[in-house]
A and B are shown apart, each in its own frame.
Chain A
């Protein structure tokens, strides 16, 4: 057991998981919010694009997207994001995590939009705010506060789903675990180490989101 801890860079692997998760989360939040705005916009084509996006990516297995990014995009279409192979894989993994989870963030934020009464938008327009100003000053801030809890669940799912990146060769926690299990005997404890590692990453986050959604809740 002690050998395993000293022979393998488990912390480094978790650090990779953290990097994947943080960058993936940022991407998913930005893209997901844009998609949510599209889905509630008065423009029919934008709404249609948003809806199709969600339907496609929510219903495609993440593993498939992950593999398609490397096999399809890099090998077949030649779209490489870096000359360094490891960097290229990492970047694709971040993009796939963002793109996939954006669909879920979109739905979470959209449920937040539904917590905002129409009267808020009418009041915003009636004091002369433009469409964009109404959105950024009045609707979005309330929608975001109303969606903290479901967004939190999505981010926790993203952290756990980031393990799928190991199938295309990102050396994250899951990749490391597979390597150790393959090379060592008596590895039951290894599962425990990694399970505890993920709990350490996600449990405080879950608690923070619950606390935040309580504290920032819009009282009506």
Chain B
């Protein structure tokens, strides 16, 4: 693997008095799949969201494919187009059809022709298994289908890296696998991914590395097999003890 695609260096962030990110140093290589886990409130979502600057940070630096995160405006928008983001609550555009959800970015940001964007969008919807729903509105789809559309919407921008913030935790249990299957497939095809999730199955199947966070710090990182069987820190042991019992 070459030059790291995402580099976070000494990143610090506060929400008021709360120090949510403490000296975060993280590198994600091209093609790598990194899982972020940790207790609630440890800063996983915030870490994910600073990478495409949905959250600002006070000190340190973040670069994507060698380019530092711009502060504002056009260049920030351009960078965000290269960084896909999949949210816990899907956030599909409620007033647009499934197809329009997927073509909006390519047409408005990448300036693709409508016909080309639609052809590509249909391919992607086919791939995630919701092509038949193309003309429906988000509210007419199940959660699992909506989340797969959200993944297709991100993919339509041909991103360099994709961020997932607990993509399956708002889903009914029977829909979790249909979303995870799509993500495993993506990982196999070499997509660079940062995934906040507590799905151990996915971590074992697709991840190259697990990053464990607690209290705004990265406490430990290791390949999934090592981390789950032989965690080093007490915080991680404690945390795994809690989530693996049920």
Residues of A participating in the B interface, judged by any CB pair closer than 8 Å: 117, 119-120, 122-131, 133, 137-138, 141-142, 145, 218-220
Contact = CB atoms under 8 A, between A and B. Distances in A.
Interface stretch (B91-99, B181-189, B238-246): B91-99
A127 B94 contact: no
Most buried by B among A122, A126, A138: A126
A142 B137 CA distance: 13
A126 B95 CA distance: 18
A130 B77 contact: yes
B76 to A, nearest CB: 9
Interface string B78-106: 11111111010101111100000000110
Most buried by A among B91, B94, B108, B157: B94
Contact count band on B:
20 to 34
A127 B104 contact: yes
B80 A137 contact: no
B87 A218 contact: no
A121 to B, nearest CB: 9
A141 B95 CA distance: 8
Interface of B: 52, 54, 73-74, 77-85, 87, 89, 91-95, 104-105, 108-109, 137, 139-140, 150, 153-154, 157
Contact of A126 (B74, B78, B83, B137): B83
B87 A119 contact: yes
A147 B195 CA distance: 37
Most buried by B among A117, A130, A133, A142: A130
B80 A127 contact: yes
B54 A125 contact: yes
B123 to A, nearest CB: 18
A127 B92 CA distance: 11
